[in-house]
């Protein structure tokens, strides 16, 4: 593990580093962290971009100086822990164990983003390292995301726990073709600046969904989805700032939300979605992703934590070769793009993928 033979805490804290090493040894094999984080228990004279500086109650914080240094700042006040990293702010509330800072160092060493490592550290409980499986998987111990706007007044309708094969398609023609082949969950992701084209494509896709009694989601364009009476809408994290979630819920649309790690999953759950998309699992050429690929090991942990709480969809770079490994995590749906739209034989590709789901269940 990369915790060995380097400065993990500053000033040096022998007891903390020993606990961090003990925790890290029980977390399993994870890729080495690209950033060699140093958890600073007091502000160093010359902070740098690899420093995560922890402040507790009663300490003064020169945020302007620290922001210029590129260091991340962690403020812990009672049950509230806030991470500041550049212009980003991540606020969490929950019970902290006595060794949460040691756990934070261990999860940072597992190559998790600092805000996701913080979520795991706050979910960690003393003695977890003595369990057969030390990874935090008890949802009750996880913190909640603070400083969020109110959740929608009413919950969006539920969707099936296992949505199955979930093609994400560029046009109404593709939606019709795939639904004709027996697929019952699909998404229209129409990339156009032509409003008339967008309305036609959405209306045609929604009609195809009704004709086949399918679960047809519209990507991003929630107003048009409401106007056409779509089954559901799929939004990204950035859309949560602008979309009228109350209007979506009142219209009876299902709501799917994209997530890219633990923090975003907890944030998305606050808004009471019908499903969560977890990704990108693998590298993808179809969309510029804000985070690096999650991989199957992380996906399996996400499924272990969230199964039974909300339906889950794996997305990002999934093809026929990768699908068996994705399904082995226990997830109820796998979204595909090129595995269908670039297949030499669409019908054969859909049939093969459908059989993978059937054999898994």
Q: Supply the DSSP symbol for 257.
A: E
The reply to whether 78 and 212 lie within a common domain is no
Other C-beta atoms within 10 Å of 54: how many? 21
The reply to whether 265 and 318 lie within a common domain is yes
The reply to whether 117 and 203 lie within a common domain is no
CATH number of the structural domain spanning residue 349? 3.20.20.70
Can you give the length of the chain in residues? 361
Other C-beta atoms within 10 Å of 198: how many? 18
Q: Which two tokens stand for residue 340?
A: 């269908």
The reply to whether 168 and 139 lie within a common domain is no
Three-state SS at 78:
coil
| pLDDT score for 98 | 94
Residue 126 lies in a domain: yes
The reply to whether 297 and 223 lie within a common domain is yes
Residue 150 lies in a domain: no
The reply to whether 107 and 242 lie within a common domain is no
| pLDDT score for 287 | 67
The reply to whether 186 and 122 lie within a common domain is no
Name 235's bridge partners: 257
Residue 4 lies in a domain: no
For residue 205, the Cα-to-chain-centroid distance in whole angstroms is 27
Residue 154 lies in a domain: no
Q: Supply the DSSP symbol for 258.
A: E
Do the Cβ atoms of 145 and 115 come closer than 8 Å? no
| pLDDT score for 290 | 67
Residue 101's alpha-carbon distances to 60, 104, 120, 184, 231, in angstroms, are: 20, 5, 11, 46, 44
Choose one of 83, 114, 145: the last residue of a domain.
145
Q: Which two tokens stand for residue 127?
A: 């003695």
| pLDDT score for 1 | 66
The reply to whether 200 and 314 lie within a common domain is yes
User: What gap in Å lies between CA 165 and CA 163, rounded to an integer?
Assistant: 7
Q: Which residues contact 102 (CB under 8 A, 6 or more apart)?
A: 16, 17, 19, 20, 23
Residue 265 lies in a domain: yes
The reply to whether 181 and 306 lie within a common domain is yes
Do the Cβ atoms of 248 and 255 come closer than 8 Å? yes
For every residue of 277-303, DSSP letters joined together read EEE-SS--SSS--SS---HHHHHHHHH
| pLDDT score for 353 | 98
Residue 213 lies in a domain: yes
Residue 177 lies in a domain: yes
For residue 315, give the H/E element and its range: strand 312-315
Which value, in Å, is the radius of gyration of the alpha carbons in the chain? 22
pLDDT, averaged per 10 consecutive residues of the chain (361 residues), comes to: 86 95 95 91 91 83 78 93 94 95 97 97 94 95 96 95 98 98 98 95 98 98 98 96 96 98 98 97 79 93 97 98 98 98 98 95 74
Choose one of 145, 173, 188: the last residue of a domain.
145
| pLDDT score for 67 | 76
User: What gap in Å lies between CA 217 and CA 200, rounded to an integer?
Assistant: 15
Q: Which two tokens stand for residue 58?
A: 């009663």
Range of the domain at 82: 9-145
Residue 159 lies in a domain: no
| pLDDT score for 315 | 98
Choose one of 80, 111, 145: the last residue of a domain.
145
The reply to whether 169 and 284 lie within a common domain is yes
The reply to whether 130 and 197 lie within a common domain is no
Q: Which string of b and e fits 60-94 if b means at least 16 CB within 10 Å?
A: eeeeeebeebebbbbbbeeeebbbbbeeeebbbeb
**Domain count across the chain:** 2
| pLDDT score for 32 | 85
The reply to whether 125 and 258 lie within a common domain is no
């Amino acid at each position: 593990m990369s915790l060995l033979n380097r400065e993990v805490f500053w000033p040096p804290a022998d007891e903390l580093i020993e606990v961090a090493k003990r925790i890290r040894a029980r977390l399993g094999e994870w890729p080495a962290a690209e950033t060699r984080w140093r958890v600073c228990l007091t502000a160093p004279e010359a902070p740098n971009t690899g420093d995560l500086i922890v402040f507790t109650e009663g300490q003064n914080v020169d945020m302007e100086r620290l922001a210029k240094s590129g260091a991340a700042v962690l403020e812990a006040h009672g049950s509230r822990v806030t991470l500041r990293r550049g212009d980003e702010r991540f606020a969490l509330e929950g019970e902290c164990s006595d060794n949460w800072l040691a756990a934070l160092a261990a999860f940072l060493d597992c190559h998790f983003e600092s805000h996701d490592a913080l979520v795991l550290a706050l979910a960690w409980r003393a003695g977890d390292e003595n369990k057969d499986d030390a990874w935090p998987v008890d949802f009750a111990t996880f913190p909640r995301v603070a400083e969020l706007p109110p959740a929608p007044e009413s919950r969006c309708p539920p969707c099936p726990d296992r949505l199955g094969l979930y093609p994400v398609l560029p046009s109404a023609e593709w939606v019709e073709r795939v639904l004709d082949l027996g697929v019952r969950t699909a998404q229209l992701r129409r990339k156009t600046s032509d409003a008339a084209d967008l309305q036609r494509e959405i209306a045609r896709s929604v009609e195809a969904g009704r004709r086949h009694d399918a679960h047809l989601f519209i990507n991003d364009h929630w107003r048009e989805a409401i106007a056409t009476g779509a089954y559901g809408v799929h939004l990204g994290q950035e859309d949560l700032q602008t979309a009228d979630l109350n209007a979506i819920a009142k219209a009876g649309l299902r709501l799917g939300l994209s997530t890219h790690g633990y923090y975003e999953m907890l944030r998305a759950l606050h808004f009471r979605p019908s499903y969560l998309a977890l990704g990108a699992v693998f590298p993808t050429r179809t969309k510029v992703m804000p985070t690096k690929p999650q991989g199957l090991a992380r996906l399996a942990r996400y499924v272990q934590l969230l199964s039974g709480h909300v339906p889950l969809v794996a997305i990002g770079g999934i093809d026929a070769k990768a699908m068996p490994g994705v399904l082995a995590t226990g997830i109820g749906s796998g979204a595909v793009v090129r595995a269908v739209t670039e297949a030499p034989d669409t019908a054969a590709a859909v049939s093969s993928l459908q059989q993978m789901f059937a054999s898994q269940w």
